[in-house]
């Protein structure tokens, strides 16, 4: 699947996103007019989201950092070509995904996972408690192992399935928004999502029966 | 304390939601910004290849002059290659100008010793006499004088053969009508004409065929003038009569065929 076309359509189905798109367009106009410093606003605003998408596709922190920086640099270099036909974040998404896909094609055999530090203050502690009864260091070790298994399982998915599950479960987009972004029907999104969940359930089943 | 088997199950979705919490710390973003700045400065310093500059060049509204230049270049190339070439000015060489004896060509002529002249000289030397030699000498004269090729070739024969004489006369008559005719008349064509003149001379006297051949080279109509209507009608009537007589004789033959005894034929069939 050509993911370069995946994120071409704007995710502007909700009013919040429309407001976000309008605000981004105003900043882009400033940058195109010559106010280069205005581009930093866009970097600060979107770096975490772009990093999250790239990290979930690569499962490697260092690669995700480099690829996110490359995506922003490419966006800055071609900012004059942005005409506003889609939202800025969609356009930035496309650059980031294309950069990541090129990297993945070149490094197909490489599978090194570097996991992010899990910030427990933002995590559902109830879920963590349900995952294991272990306490202290054993719990941390168990959680670390679980994260590795999850990343391994996600890397076994194909890129379209991985993209769908990332956008839905991690980024929180709706089925219609994902369909608009990926250029497919909602039925396709649902079927891919269902298959991806079934696959991950099979891969991680024993870890979920604790 | 709830029992283990009564604990709600953790689903894949729950695990995936945990990934939302996976975010780098502040130090990571500090390092990220520093590296991004370095990469931005490096990108500004490095020289981009010319093919990467093309999209930027085109977005600067340069497409209009570029397009106009492309259209202009295409027009010039197409005119150059597809326009009809001007008629090449044929050099008015002594060999190229057939002129009647005694006539002066208006255009200046370059001195040439062409194969045709040589051939004519050799042809003349084979068959003829002083008039040819003097004409050959005339052919090698100054540029302003036109060398009379056709007379050179024809004049010796003209004295002998009436057909060739007639051909030469017609050519000289055509010259004032079409001043460029002689210049356009190519050497091979002239050779053909001379060969035809020789052929005519060799043909035994046969007025009808001879006239036809002459007409071919003189440009006269081959077909005789249209006959008056009465003559045409007589011819048609004669022809129709012939057709009918043929048909009648054929019919008579068929009748004779069928007048043979039928029983024999029937017996043969059955």
Mutation target among A127, A145, A164 for the B interface, most CBs of B within 10 A: A127
Which pLDDT belongs to residue A149?
84
Residue A210 pLDDT grade (very low, low, confident, very high; cuts 50, 70, 90): very low
Q: Give the nearest partner residue to A204 out of B4, B15, B23, using CB atoms.
A: B15
Q: Give how far A102 is from chain B: nearest CA, Å.
A: 18
Q: Name the residue with tokens 């020789």.
A: B198
Q: Give how far B65 is from chain A: nearest CA, Å.
A: 20
Between the CA of residue A186 and those of A163, A169, A182, B231, what are the distances in Å?
A: 14, 16, 10, 94
Mean pLDDT for the stretch of residues A169-192: 82
Mean pLDDT of chain A: 78
pLDDT digits (tens, 9 = 90+) for A66-82: 999 999 999 998 998 88
Q: Is A205 a residue whose pLDDT tops 70?
A: yes
ipTM of this predicted structure = 0.76
pTM exceeds 0.90: no
Check if the beta carbon of residue B44 is closer than 8 Å to that of residue A137: no
Mean pLDDT for the stretch of residues A169-183: 77
DSSP state of B22: B
Mean pLDDT for the stretch of residues B118-125: 49
Distance CA A83, CA A95 (A): 15
Q: Which residue has the higher pLDDT, A115 or A102?
A: A102
Q: Give the nearest partner residue to B15 out of A150, A172, A210, using CB atoms.
A: A150
Which pLDDT belongs to residue A116?
52
Inter-chain contact B22–A69, Cβ cutoff 8 Å?
no
Inter-chain contact B9–A150, Cβ cutoff 8 Å?
no
Which pLDDT belongs to residue A188?
94
Check if the beta carbon of residue B148 is closer than 8 Å to that of residue B138: yes
Mean pLDDT for the stretch of residues A35-60: 88
Residue in chain A closest to B19 (alpha carbons) equals A170
Instruction: Establish if B25 touches chain A: CB-CB under 8 angstroms.
Output: yes
Mean pLDDT for the stretch of residues B86-113: 48
Mutation target among B9, B13, B20 for the A interface, most CBs of A within 10 A: B20
Which pLDDT belongs to residue B193?
65
Which pLDDT belongs to residue B266?
44
Which pLDDT belongs to residue A172?
78
DSSP string covering B216-255: HHHT--SSPPPPPHHHHHHHHHHHHHHHHHHHHHHHHHHH
Instruction: Establish if B40 touches chain A: CB-CB under 8 angstroms.
Output: yes
Check if the beta carbon of residue B95 is closer than 8 Å to that of residue B182: no
Which pLDDT belongs to residue B112?
45
User: Looking at beta carbons, which residues of chain B come within 8 Å of A146?
Assistant: 15
Q: Give the nearest partner residue to A123 out of B21, B25, B56, using CB atoms.
A: B21
pLDDT digits (tens, 9 = 90+) for B231-265: 778 888 887 777 667 666 676 676 666 555 554 44
Q: Which residue has the higher pLDDT, B130 or B80?
A: B80
Between the CA of residue A100 and those of A8, A72, A152, B233, what are the distances in Å?
A: 16, 12, 18, 97
Q: Which residue has the higher pLDDT, A123 or B243?
A: B243
Distance CA A165, CA A173 (A): 10
Which pLDDT belongs to residue B111?
46
CA atoms within 13 Å, Cβ hemisphere of A171: 26
Distance CA A70, CA B15 (A): 30
Q: Which residue has the higher pLDDT, A25 or B116?
A: A25
User: Looking at beta carbons, which residues of chain B come within 8 Å of A127?
Assistant: 10, 14, 17-18
Among the ranges given (A169-173, B80-84, B127-131), the one the predictor scored with the smallest mean pLDDT: B127-131
Instruction: Establish if B39 touches chain A: CB-CB under 8 angstroms.
Output: yes
pLDDT digits (tens, 9 = 90+) for B159-204: 556 777 787 788 777 655 555 555 555 556 566 666 766 766 666 5
pLDDT digits (tens, 9 = 90+) for A128-157: 655 556 566 777 777 778 778 888 888 888
Mutation target among A31, A37, A41, A51 for the B interface, most CBs of B within 10 A: A51
Q: Is A45 a residue whose pLDDT tops 70?
A: yes
How far, rounded to the nearest angstrom, does the alpha carbon of residue A142 sit from its chain's CA centroid?
25
Q: Is A113 a residue whose pLDDT tops 80?
A: no
Q: Is A90 a residue whose pLDDT tops 50?
A: yes
| Phi, psi (rounded to 5 degrees) for B111 | -75, 130
pLDDT digits (tens, 9 = 90+) for B4-35: 445 556 778 877 887 777 778 888 999 999 99
Residue B269 pLDDT grade (very low, low, confident, very high; cuts 50, 70, 90): very low
Residue in chain B closest to A79 (alpha carbons) equals B56
Residue A54 pLDDT grade (very low, low, confident, very high; cuts 50, 70, 90): confident
DSSP state of B85: P
Instruction: Establish if B36 touches chain A: CB-CB under 8 angstroms.
Output: yes
pLDDT digits (tens, 9 = 90+) for B52-85: 666 666 655 666 777 888 888 889 888 888 776 6
Q: Is A27 a residue whose pLDDT tops 90?
A: yes
Q: Give how far B27 is from chain A: nearest CA, Å.
A: 12
Q: Which residue has the higher pLDDT, B217 or B118?
A: B217
Inter-chain contact B56–A80, Cβ cutoff 8 Å?
yes
Residue A191 pLDDT grade (very low, low, confident, very high; cuts 50, 70, 90): very high
Mutation target among B3, B9, B17, B24 for the A interface, most CBs of A within 10 A: B24
Inter-chain contact A69–B20, Cβ cutoff 8 Å?
no
Q: Is A47 a residue whose pLDDT tops 80?
A: yes
User: Looking at beta carbons, which residues of chain B come within 8 Å of A52?
Assistant: 22-23
Inter-chain contact A80–B59, Cβ cutoff 8 Å?
yes
């Amino acid at each position: 699947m050509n993911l370069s076309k995946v994120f071409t359509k704007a995710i502007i189905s909700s009013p919040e996103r429309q407001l976000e798109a309008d605000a981004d367009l105003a900043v882009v106009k400033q940058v195109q007019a010559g106010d280069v410093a205005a581009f930093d606003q866009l970097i600060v605003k979107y770096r975490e989201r772009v990093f999250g998408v790239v990290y979930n596709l690569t499962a490697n922190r260092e690669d995700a950092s480099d690829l996110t920086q490359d995506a922003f640099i490419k966006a800055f270099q071609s900012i004059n070509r942005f005409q506003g036909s889609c939202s800025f974040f969609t356009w930035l998404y496309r650059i980031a995904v294309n950069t990541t896909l090129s990297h993945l094609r070149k490094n197909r055999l490489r599978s090194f996972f570097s996991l992010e530090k899990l910030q427990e203050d933002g995590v559902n502690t109830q879920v963590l408690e349900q995952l294991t009864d272990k306490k202290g260091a054993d719990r941390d070790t168990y959680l670390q192992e679980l994260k590795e298994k999850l990343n391994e399982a996600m890397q076994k998915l194909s890129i379209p399935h991985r993209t769908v599950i990332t956008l839905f479960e991690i980024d929180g987009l709706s089925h219609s928004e994902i369909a608009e972004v990926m250029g497919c029907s909602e039925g396709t999104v649902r079927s891919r999502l269902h298959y991806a969940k079934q696959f991950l359930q099979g891969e991680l089943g024993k870890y979920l029966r604790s | 304390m709830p029992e283990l088997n009564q604990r709600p199950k953790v689903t894949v979705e729950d695990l995936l939601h945990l990934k939302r919490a996976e975010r780098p710390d502040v130090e990571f973003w500090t390092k990220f910004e520093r590296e991004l700045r370095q990469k931005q400065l490096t990108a500004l310093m490095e020289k981009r290849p010319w093919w990467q500059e093309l999209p930027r060049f085109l977005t600067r509204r340069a497409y209009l002059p570029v397009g106009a230049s492309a259209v202009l270049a295409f027009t010039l190339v197409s005119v150059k290659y597809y326009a009809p070439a001007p008629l090449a000015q044929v050099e008015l060489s002594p060999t190229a100008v057939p002129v009647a004896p005694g006539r002066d060509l208006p255009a200046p002529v370059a001195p040439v010793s062409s194969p045709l002249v040589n051939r004519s000289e050799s042809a003349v030397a084979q068959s003829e006499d002083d008039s040819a030699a003097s004409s050959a000498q005339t052919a090698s004269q100054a540029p302003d004088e036109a060398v009379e090729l056709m007379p050179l070739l024809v004049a010796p024969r003209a004295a002998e053969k009436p057909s060739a004489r007639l051909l030469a006369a017609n050519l000289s008559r055509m010259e004032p009508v079409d001043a460029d005719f002689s210049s356009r008349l190519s050497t091979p064509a002239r050779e053909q004409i001379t060969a035809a003149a020789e052929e005519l001379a060799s043909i035994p006297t046969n007025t009808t065929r001879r006239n036809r051949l002459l007409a071919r080279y003189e440009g006269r109509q081959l077909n005789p003038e249209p006959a008056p209507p009465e003559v045409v009608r007589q011819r048609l009537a004669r022809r129709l009569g012939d057709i009918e007589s043929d048909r009648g004789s054929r019919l008579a033959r068929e009748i004779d065929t069928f007048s043979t005894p039928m029983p024999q034929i029937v017996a043969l069939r059955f």
